[in-house]
Structure 1
Amino acid sequence: MDLVKHTGGCHCGAVRFEVLSSPDLHVFHCNCSICQKKQNHHFIVPKNLFTLLKGSDNLTTYTFNTHVAKHTFCKTCGVQSFYTPRSNPDGYGVAPHCLDPGTVRSVTVETFCGEKWEESMQAHKSIRDMSKNTAESETT
């Protein structure tokens, strides 16, 4: 799988990042309590394919329940452009709508029933592997 370098950030520009991922994004639409309120859509990448370019001092984090998920957002504009998901604490959930235009070829959306998180995680065959860096790929 070829990877491309996507760049993105929050609304005000205080937080900027780059991520290596396929140009064809597999995006999750979750209905857990926080994702429902935020309309959180995200694709998952391994931590080593994500680089925070600027804004670490402008991020704040919200956690609840198990405190595994780290909901990071910009202190200035409030936008969550990425976070550490409970499903993949060894990776990042990146908001595709926070990417700069020009590098996404397609988006496939999969609904994830976060209201029944434990059951959904047990039934899902590949979500935990999405934050594993299983292949060396070229960047374009």
Structure 2
Amino acid sequence: MDDDDYVERLVRSADPADTARKLVAVAFQRELAQLIASGRVAEGIDDLLAKFISDTYRQHDPHLADGRESLAQFFRGAAAAGVDLWPPMPICVMNDGDVVALLLQGVNDRGLERFIPTMFRVRDGVMTEHWSAAAPPPPAAPTR
């Protein structure tokens, strides 16, 4: 993800507005990964979120409340608890208007490879909404 040529190819679109929207979502993931790798999540998460997340950010995840502060608390708490945030990197990016979808790929410290689809609404250069499939799976259905 430190390869600028890779990022350029990943977000390239015939429409410059689409390219710009994709770049916001990819740049967020890239800078989040750099912050996690630095070990300075608690010190840097507020500035990172202020750069990429709108004041009216809406979170479509039952585990997080709307707004930047809820997301910041999540990252600070996870880092303090020693949770392996294994920053996943975008391997595919597409959009439909202002909704940008990413497929993220990452490997955690146990060698487990995961793929996470995630989507952001990007307006005026910031992310205003988020949908993700990173939530824990529902309990197993009862067997008969």
Please say whether Structure 1 and Structure 2 have the same fold, judged by a TM-score greater than 0.5.
no
Q: TM-score, normalised by structure 1?
A: 0.26
**Structure 1 or 2: more helix by fraction:** 2
**Structure 1 or 2: more strand by fraction:** 1
Higher relative contact order (CA 8 A, sep 6+): 1
